[in-house]
Amino acid sequence: MNFLTILPMAVVMVAGTQLVAAVFLASADRPRAASLGYLAGAGLVVSGGVTVSWLLIRVVNINIGAGSGGHRTVGRWIDVVVLALLVVLAVVVFLRRHTTGTPKWMSGLQQASPGYALRLGVLLFLAMPTDDLTMLTVGASAARHDLSWWHLLPFVLLTLTLLGLPLLALLLLGHRAEAVLPRMRDWAQQHSWVVSEIVIGFFVLITAADLLR
């Protein structure tokens, strides 16, 4: 496994409410400032989450997996845990597939300040079970395959890039973004769970292949 393998999991991080909130902020009274605040909050959580997961598995590998045989045994158990996390993640995404519509609290994002948007980014990514499970899975997988911490950075950057698509559309399209952003929001609400399940299935296959070696 290399860092390219974990990159698709960034799609799972932003699919659904996270991207919908980004669309609303890109349509706010201060879209640039609010969107950047939101991205900053999300970046703090995502980078911190995968780092904590990576560190925990590294400690387990070093302290418990002494010797080549022990290291292999610990590695297999980590694969089992990662596989279990992926199965739980797939179930959570499936159960939440009909959670559509715009939550009432999003109506207040029109007047969102950068500080409010930053707090929203932190709370939204912390409170979402799919994000928590994804961060655990990505960090654990990277550590399990002895990838250095910096290999997590492309995942974090891709997550923020996907989350920043509404702002990018606003900057590139100007007033024409008014027609693009609602379509982006509707797609995220209705179909993003399918893409998430495909990505999770891909990662399940990779993890299962590692386990069977």
Q: What is the pLDDT of residue 16?
A: 78
Structural domain tally of the chain?
1
Summarised one tens digit per residue, pLDDT across range 75-95 is 677 778 888 888 898 888 888
Total residues belonging to the chain: 213
**Over 70: is that where the pLDDT of 100 sits?**
no
Nearest to 135 by CA among 30, 197, 42, 23: 42
Band the pLDDT of 101: cuts 50, 70, 90.
low
Question: What would the mean pLDDT of 33-51 be, rounded to a whole number?
Answer: 95
Q: Residue 153: is its pLDDT beyond 90?
A: yes
> What is the residue range of 126's domain?
3-212
CB neighbours (10 Å) of residue 12? 27
Residues 6+ apart with CB under 8 A from 12: 89, 93, 130, 134, 196, 199, 200
pLDDT of residue 121: 93
Residues 6+ apart with CB under 8 A from 80: 211
Mean pLDDT in residue range 178-188: 73
